[in-house]
Amino acid sequence: MTDILSALNWRYACKVFDPAKKIPADIWAQLEQSLILTPSSFGLQPWKFIIIQDQELREKLVPNAWNQHQVADCSHLVVMTVPKALSVDYVDANIARMVEVRGGSADSLHSFRDMVLGFRLGLEAKGGLEQWAKLQSYIALGQFMFAASQLGLDTCPMEGFVTAKFDEILGLEKDGLTTAVLCPVGYRSSDDRYAGLPKVRFEAKDVIEHR
């Protein structure tokens, strides 16, 4: 049995990465595969994960991320992006993939398709498709940080950035995508004083209730 709690206790929001330490390719491959395996509502996977290692591009992003240097100093910067809408084509691409992996025909999935399209219309009417997609990307974020911690890697989830500037610099508009959240990954610097601080969480009685 995995000691999941050791990894979660070791994890913290890394404030200073060691820019000299890069994630080995075999470790990164596992982490990338874990991203792909993230669960999502209806299995729709409404996301594209942009992995940035190019230093010039990362430096350009820093001022648009509240000058947080983790964006440039980490080993791999993960920018989680989501579609602003959820096109019928996207739903059909998902169904085509289901057929490809599981066999059968798209026709046999028509009731699933109807259900998803109905759900989509409901969300769209409330202006909530982008928000729904962002929620899904946070499932990815939660799973990803936990996976990284188990591989001995540090992360820092970041909501502090200028969405419009990120979208522009990364050229997301043409694909109908927008930036949801950032997650730099790498190795903590020995200079990061936050690494040694005790973790602050509410007591169980304050966040858990049994019925």
Task: Using CB under 8 A, list all residues that contact a copy of itself.
Answer: 1-2, 4-5, 7-9, 11, 13, 30, 32-39, 41, 43, 45, 47-54, 57, 93-94, 97-98, 101-102, 131, 134-136, 138-147, 150-152, 157, 159, 170, 197-202, 204, 207-211
Q: Which of 36, 121, 136 is nearest to 83 (CA)?
A: 136
Cα separations in angstroms, 134 against 117, 129, 145, 178, 208: 18, 9, 16, 9, 25
Nearer to a copy of itself, 136 or 178 (CB): 136
For the record, the structure tokens of 173 come out as 């508009």
What's the Cα-to-Cα distance from 132 to each of 15, 56, 62, rounded to whole Å?
29, 32, 27
Q: How far is the CB of 20 from a copy of itself (least distance, A)?
A: 21
Distance of closest approach, residue 137 Cβ to a copy of itself, in angstroms: 8
Amino acid at 147: A
C-beta closer to a copy of itself: residue 43 or 63: 43
- Closest CB 63 distance from a copy of itself, rounded Å: 18
- By C-alpha distance, which of 34, 131, 36, 119 is closest to 83? 131
User: Whole-number minimum distance, CB 187 to a copy of itself, in Å?
Assistant: 15
The CB-of-91 to a copy of itself minimum distance in angstroms stands at 13
For a copy of itself, the closer CB: 1 or 125: 1
Q: Computed over its alpha carbons, how large is the radius of gyration of the chain?
A: 19
Specify whether the CB–CB gap between 41 and 136 falls below 8 A. Answer: yes
Identity of the residue, 7 or 195, whose beta carbon is nearer to a copy of itself in the bound complex: 7
